[in-house]
Structure 1
Amino acid sequence: MDVVELHRRASEEFVRQVASVRPHQWGDPTPCSDWTVRDLVNHVVGEERWTVPLLAGRTIEDVGDSLDGDLLGDDPASAASHAARAAQNAVTEPVLRGATVHLSYGEEQAAEYVYQLAADHLVHGWDLAVSIGAPVHLDPQVVDGISTWFKEREDLYRGGGAIGPRLEGYSDPTSTLLGAFGRDPAWTPAHATVERLGAAFARGDVDAIMYELTPDCVFESTSPAPDGTRVVGGKAVREQWEQLFDQTNDAVFETEETVVLGDRAVVRWRFSWNEADGHRGHVRGVDVLRLRDGKVCEKLSYVKG
């Protein structure tokens, strides 16, 4: 399949996913940890908007900051559709002519640039679908075409910081490609909640911790043995964490491993602190979490004996 067709199919699928976003989902998390659903869509629409002037021979300096900021307005689905159609119309002639395009790292072949765009649409299309809980439809021919192109570029992408570490162990082509782009094919919005909760504990940020918990959350602490203490409700749980961080010298939580399955998660962690004699003490343990509506409603903690 030629790169123009790869780009058309990948961008049309992305537009279809944008049209599936429900009003309350624009602020939801995505596998791109710094982006909400709206941020992700705005990024891709921005790429499409850049495509037209760049393939027409303009430079980055020519475009300047005219495409900065929010490009979605009050109707993101229409903004995505119009931008995709304009980009699709712009790519064919420069690719067939063998034109070059001015990118941030210098001059590039138009066909190579369009491959980059197609790959971004494909991967971010998956990001968007799993973020909003929509069925994932990655065209097998597009996956095959992007996989072949990406094999020689993966190290370059990773070396430049554009993608995360490769995730291994997948047998099907789609999961293998997602893993090459640093994606976990099993990612769900629950992963983002658990990751944010771990980051809040690492910072000792009680407000951020409580934001990830439901108002009726349940917490079971690790002491006293053998069953710990059961605390119910946001106010009581907050008091537990405020007391821990206030009364522990240089308390640090570190997440060592996370496994998320549906509405359940297991987090393996290390908790350390400064002893009175100056030495660093620590314990290792796990949390068994239950999630509801994107928040943690139950946190049961266990420590190595």
Structure 2
Amino acid sequence: MSFTLFWIPATIVASLLQTARNLTQRSLTDVIGVVGATQVRFLFGLPFALLFLLLVCLGLGRLPPQISLGTLGITGWGALTQIAATALMLAAMRERSFAVTTAYTKTEPVQVAIFGALLLGDALSPAKFAAIVIATAGVVLVSWKPGEKLSRAGLRPALLGIGSGACFALSAIGYRGAIQSLPDGDFLIRATTTLALGLGLQTLILTLYMLVANRKALVLSLKNWRRSLTAGFLGAAASQFWFIGFSLTTAANVRTLALIEVPLAQIASRKMFSEGTTRRELLGMAMIVFGVGLLLMLAI
């Protein structure tokens, strides 16, 4: 049975789970702070990642593939750049609106495509790159609000936001490279092994940091273990499907298809709150759908 196109439903499921995780983490921010809520997805997600790996190994009747120093190094790259991306994004959000920061960080798919071509040799035809650019431009158009201008004061958050997108791109490339570096096994066990390894490294790094710099937030996350477990499970489950996508196709394909959540969220928001949609937002959503549709046509 061929799973070549399984990256499409895997990416859609990952996007939905990530949205649910973000909502759960947001509710935790008021209780344990930004750093504590960020750390929760790793510390409380690791047990679920290990459980996923155990179930995959039992289902396939084999042990995880051997992890080399090269795989460990590339996974560490993905783990560290993901932490850096989150920190830069939060720093940008302190200075500019959520919508504008989102517009900056959502330049990620274009950066993923470029880094993937340069670092992993992923195929990047002119037509595919055009599809990625169109979809990304659509996100920027939807997110950018009228009256927002880039001034000298706005240069720092702009650089922080774009830097965040670059780090998210490097993280996706790192994780895809780690999956590819594993010597054997099918896509599922390689993706799940990389997930467990990545979350293990991130948990170690952030837990040590919080023990030194913010022990109170760590203790509060443990006291609020029920909500923390929910965020951890949703985060690990979302990452499981992201990594399945990375194991089957380029990171650029996965991250561009994930942009489809932007118009879906806009539509749901408008229905829930009975708000109108501007022409600018409609044009942006049309660009996202067109860009994603073109990418799928080229990828299938």
TM range, smaller chain: under 0.3
| Structure-2-length-normalised TM-score | 0.25
- TM-score calculated relative to the size of structure 1: 0.25
Higher relative contact order (CA 8 A, sep 6+): 2
Which has the larger helix fraction? 2
Q: Larger strand proportion, structure 1 or 2?
A: 1
Higher-Rg structure is 1
